[in-house]
Structure 1
Amino acid sequence: MIKRVVGVVAAALAGVVLATAPADARETADFTAIVALNNCSGSVVRPPTATDNDPALVLTNGHCVKLMGANEVIVNQAASRTFTLLGPSGNNLGTLRSTKLSYATMKNTDAAFYQLSSTYAQIQQQYGTRALDLSATRPAQGTGIQVVSGYWKRTYTCAVDGFAYQLKEGSWTWKDSIRYTRPCNVIGGTSGSPIIDGAGKVVGVNNTINESGGRCTTNNPCEVSQTGQVTVRSGIGYAQQTYDITRCITTGNQFNLTLPGCTLPR
């Protein structure tokens, strides 16, 4: 999945069938607040402390910024990047632009937040669309979820199968990752898609899948238990949790990594 959108056209066609929802899944999410990047997916998100007049944030993966070093962290770096904002049906509403990369890393998690030049109120006024709320609560095993890709304009529906104590892929290690049930058979380009629960809140960010049964290699992550046992689950996808990131965002949607409870790498 680290390869993002390279060489995925055939897989995308196959994914039309694989993305079919299980019988007990609830179709709830549309494309409201979803964005497409040139290489990935993302979403306009609103932390619990944000106000209408704060600059809006876009959530995606750290590897959608670049293939970052295993211990690399970026904070408050000027960045002008464009995002195609989608409407509820997947129609293109317009273009959003960032002013900076507020935070990005592939250490312990695989997440990035861009700060936009527009506030939430301005986006609502111009495009008639709201942001997705970032949940401050850890999702439970069995929670019904949807992975909504702006790049492919496609939604995958499944559930939280469980959590990986450590997820290793190449030189990267991620902690407490969400493991999907099999219907979320995500492909390149879905990287950075929000994981949306039944309440319509973002509980994670999609980032990888074991593509061919490889062991802990690029595009073939493996799970490592607390005792060091390695498990390979071919065809199973994963996301990084975001509830804990809300503890690192303060007034004005600014990241403060010294806040109590903030565990993001510095």
Structure 2
Amino acid sequence: MKVLRRTALATAILSCAGFASVAPASAQTAPEPATQTTSQSTTVASDSLAGTIALDNCSGSLVRYAQSEGGDKALMLTNGHCYEGGMPEAGEVITDQPSSRTGKLLNTAGDPVGTVTADTLLYSTMTGTDVSLYQLDATYDEITADTDIEPLTLASSKPTDKTAITVASGYWQRTWHCDVNGFVDTLKEADWTMHDSVRYSMPGCDILGGSSGSPVIDDASGEVVAVNNTINEGGEDCTMNNPCEVNEDGTTTATEGEGYAQQTYWITTCLTDDRKLDLSVEGCLLAKPAN
């Protein structure tokens, strides 16, 4: 989860990221501003970057629920550790906070076609998962009309093992391809613990700093099944930048170069009938605030 502070692109590329695949803004090509929104989801080609978002230190994506409508305020997905207020502490859940975070929305080729701006941080945590979900200040229809970009759809169920997936980074304007290589019941990195994490098949998804928050897309359905978040950099056991898998007997396993993502269908278990995020919904899998 380290924050990469190198100022040169070449040195940033050399640093893989653990829990915080966060890269410096200075390494990013500055896109041209505009705006974006749409009402329908799109199935993307395996190398498409359409709907991805370049943040100042991470990657993100323009997303919708399966039942979202064009007039709904659009949503932006990234990691909890990419939250502009700093990484949430273990056990911390942040909800419904004002935000003015911006990002550059990309087209299929990875070219910026506009700027999206949040008005609310709906949810952010690094407890159980590693996710931040923002509400934008424009609707899907408005964004699509301005940019011709449509959102990616969040899958409403868990992916299956061996699913072919694409990690699409708006920050780096590139993709990685691999398969789901099973699921990790408990994944631990430093003080943070995640559950039912997606393990990547390797090699393939050898992610870089700045790829944190990238949507993990099911190649067959085009739906977002997870959000990319960490990789073991040095083979250490359960330390920062070195996530480990906790076995049933409490022993741990750490593999240098192993990468992981956090499932996103959890978000859809917390929706009301009118498509609002409500942590009190029966069956909601997201962590709740302690108070």
Same fold per TM (> 0.5)? yes
For 2:125 and 2:108, the matched residues in 1 are separated by 30
Q: Deviations over 1:199-235 (max 9, x none)?
A: 1100000000001111100000000022212111110
Partner in structure 2 of residue 67 of structure 1 = 87
Superposed displacement of residue 263, structure 1: 1.7
**Partner amino acid, structure 1, of 2:183:** F
Partner in structure 2 of residue 138 of structure 1 = 158
Secondary structure of the corresponding residue to residue 269 of structure 2: helix
Superposed displacement of residue 29, structure 1: 4.2
The answer to whether the 8 Å contact 2:123/2:133 transfers is yes
Partner in structure 2 of residue 197 of structure 1 = 218
Residues 1:124 and 2:144 aligned together = yes
User: Which of 241, 254, 257 is the aligned partner of 2:263?
Assistant: 241
Instruction: Map 1:101-180 to 2 at 5 A.
Output: 101-180=121-200
For 2:48 and 2:272, the matched residues in 1 are separated by 28
Partner in structure 2 of residue 23 of structure 1 = none
Q: Deviations over 1:99-145 (max 9, x none)?
A: 01000000000000010001111111110110000001101110000
For 1:5 and 1:75, the matched residues in 2 are separated by 26
The answer to whether the 8 Å contact 2:237/2:244 transfers is yes
Partner in structure 2 of residue 45 of structure 1 = 63
**Percent identity over the alignment?**
46
Residues 1:184 and 2:205 aligned together = yes
User: Which of 210, 229, 237 is the aligned partner of 1:207?
Assistant: 229
**Partner amino acid, structure 1, of 2:94:** I
Secondary structure of the corresponding residue to residue 121 of structure 1: helix
User: Which of 251, 273, 277 is the aligned partner of 1:255?
Assistant: 277
For 1:55 and 1:14, the matched residues in 2 are separated by 36
For 1:5 and 1:92, the matched residues in 2 are separated by 23
Compared with structure 1, are the counterparts of its residues 144 and 163 closer, same or farther at alpha carbon in structure 2 (3 Å cutoff)?
same
Q: Which is further off, 5-14 or 169-178?
A: 5-14
Superposed displacement of residue 254, structure 1: 2.4
User: Which of 74, 81, 102 is the aligned partner of 2:101?
Assistant: 81
Superposed displacement of residue 5, structure 1: 3.7
Residues 1:222 and 2:229 aligned together = no
Partner in structure 1 of residue 72 of structure 2 = 54
Superposed displacement of residue 55, structure 1: 0.4
The answer to whether the 8 Å contact 2:15/2:209 transfers is no
Compared with structure 1, are the counterparts of its residues 80 and 251 closer, same or farther at alpha carbon in structure 2 (3 Å cutoff)?
farther
For 2:10 and 2:228, the matched residues in 1 are separated by 19
Partner in structure 2 of residue 231 of structure 1 = 253
Partner in structure 2 of residue 21 of structure 1 = none
Q: Deviations over 1:17-65 (max 9, x none)?
A: xxxxxxxxx9624111100110000000001221111001000000000
The answer to whether the 8 Å contact 1:76/1:103 transfers is yes
The answer to whether the 8 Å contact 2:4/2:12 transfers is no
**Partner amino acid, structure 2, of 1:67:** M
Residues 1:33 and 2:34 aligned together = no
CA RMSD of aligned residues (A): 1.7
For 2:15 and 2:287, the matched residues in 1 are separated by 37
**Partner amino acid, structure 2, of 1:6:** R
TM-score with structure 2 setting the length: 0.84
The answer to whether the 8 Å contact 1:4/1:64 transfers is no
The answer to whether the 8 Å contact 1:97/1:116 transfers is yes
More strand by share: 1
The answer to whether the 8 Å contact 2:4/2:15 transfers is no
Partner in structure 2 of residue 19 of structure 1 = none
For 2:3 and 2:208, the matched residues in 1 are separated by 8
**Partner amino acid, structure 1, of 2:260:** Y
For 1:200 and 1:63, the matched residues in 2 are separated by 25
